[in-house]
Structures are given as structure tokens and as C-alpha cells.
Amino acid sequence: MDLSEMVESLVYRKPDSLRDVETHYCPGCTHGLAHRLVAEVIDELGMREKAIGVAPVGCSVFAYNYFNMDFAEAAHGRAPAMATGIKRVNPDNLVFTYQGDGDLASIGAAEILHAAGRGENITVVFINNAIYGMTGGQMAPTTLPGQRTSSTPLGRDVEVHGFPLRMCEVLSQLDGAAYVARRSLHDVANIRKAKKALRQAFEVQLNGLGFAMVELLSNCPTNWGMGATDSLVWIEEHMIPMFPLGDYKVGPGVASVGGRES
């Protein structure tokens, strides 16, 4: 191959919607990956300068340090309400929340339920890693039966701690929910699918079709007590059976919108 007429071109780089900063996330934590997918989609939609993100309380509380766009930081569980307030007065902005499983499915369960019920025209990025990361590994509503956490030291006992909450299945029952999908970040193929789902979810908002949420099965190497690679295997072997992947709600008009791979 004669290199003379060849030119080196950039194939992949950090999206503009991410700041060029180090994150505080643990090595191998897929929060960083989810941030990148959201940022890539916002770049591809050309919406960085129209976007307003709402960060939760949890490991991703500092999302506003990593996204290169207007950002607010909500009280624990209140991001969907805060995003509602923003979207209602600034309908032209692209408003999204980025929430963990404690934030969305535990303290914020009422807020997410009613945002979906209202068909609030916001996009929700829901990171499900079956544990409370920031506070050091306590049980979350999505902790699996038998899973050890610092607040279920002998493993989650459904008789005592109840059953995991499947938020896609719950929210997809609501007429206001236009697009509800669950994807996973445990391997490259699924990461690509996750990006497509995120793209679809943001297009739902751009077309005013109502509430959209993508749940992303994610890892927590530190609090699961395993390495990065093993944690991705754990998602596949343990989380997916409890939280099956797929589209749980594709409302009218959603299918024809977006999702085109750029």
C-alpha cells in the first residue's frame, strides 16, 4: 500500500458535548461511557447549544462538570420535576435528566411516574447498576435478590427487602410514555444499540411526542467488589435475566422518528 496518496484522518474523538476533563468515576465504571453516548447523540443532533441537562444526586451528581452544556443539579430524586419546570418555561430547549437507580426508582419514584404519566416532553437517561454507588454500596430498588450490599450484608432477602423494581415495565404502562427502552452497556454491540436508543429518545423529544426514557444496565466495579471486565460479565449473567433488554413502549409516531444511525 503506497502511503504517499494516503492521508491520516481522524476516525473517532471526544464529542464536543463532553468537556475535556478527567472524571471522578471509578476505573471501568460505565457512567463515563453513558455520558459519552449522550454527548455523541446531542452532537449528532446539533443540539449542544440548546440542551439543558439535570443531574441527580448519586455518582453522577457531578455530571455538570463533564457535559459541555447548560446544566442544573437537582435534589435527590427530583430531577424529573426540575426538568418539567425547565421544559414548561423553555419548551425550545432540549431538556434531559440523567439519573441513577436510587435517584429515579427510590426517592424519585413519584416524580418519574408522574413525569411519564404527564407525557412530559423530556428525555430521561436512567443508569441502573443495582446499587447505591456514591454512598458506598447500599441496596437500591434494583438490587437483585440475594445480592450482597452494605445494607443487605447477607444478600437481599425479598421477604424483608422486597423485590427489584422494573421501571421500564412500570412506566411503559402509562399512556404519556412515548418511548421506553432498556439497553445494556456490557459489550460493544450493546453499547452501539444503547446509542441508537438514546438517539431515538432524544428525537422523541425533538418531535414533541412526549416522555422518553432509556434505561441502561450499567456496572459498579467498586461496590460490586469485582474488576471492570468481570463486572460487565456480571451484567450479562445476572442483571439481564432480571431486567430483560428491549423496547417496552414505542408510542404512535415514535417508530417513524429518528434512530437513523448517522
Region 104-133 residues binding other proteins, contact defined as CB under 8 A: 110-111, 113-114, 118
Tell me, rounded to whole angstroms, the distance of Cα 258 from its chain centroid: 18
Among the listed ranges 17-25, 125-133, 172-180, 205-213, the one in contact with other proteins (CB under 8 A) is 17-25
Q: What is the CA radius of gyration of the chain?
A: 18
Q: Which is nearer to other proteins, 105 or 250 (CB)?
A: 105
Region 194-223 residues binding other proteins, contact defined as CB under 8 A: 221
Shortest distance, position 201 Cβ to other proteins, whole Å: 19
- Distance (Å, rounded) from C-alpha 39 to C-alpha 51? 10
- Distance (Å, rounded) from C-alpha 251 to C-alpha 157? 36
Assess contact for 169 and 113: CB atoms under 8 A. Answer: no
Assess contact for 122 and 205: CB atoms under 8 A. Answer: yes
Q: Which is nearer to other proteins, 48 or 156 (CB)?
A: 48
CB atoms within 10 A of CB 140: 28
Region 157-196 residues binding other proteins, contact defined as CB under 8 A: 187-188, 191-192
Region 46-105 residues binding other proteins, contact defined as CB under 8 A: 48-52, 54-55, 61-62, 64-65, 67-75, 78, 81-86, 88-90, 92-94
Q: Which is nearer to other proteins, 92 or 159 (CB)?
A: 92
Shortest distance, position 168 Cβ to other proteins, whole Å: 20
Q: What is the DSSP letter of 132?
A: B
Q: What phi and psi values does residue 179 have, to the nearest 5 degrees? A: -145, 120
Among 226, 228, 240, 242, binds other proteins (CB under 8 A): 228
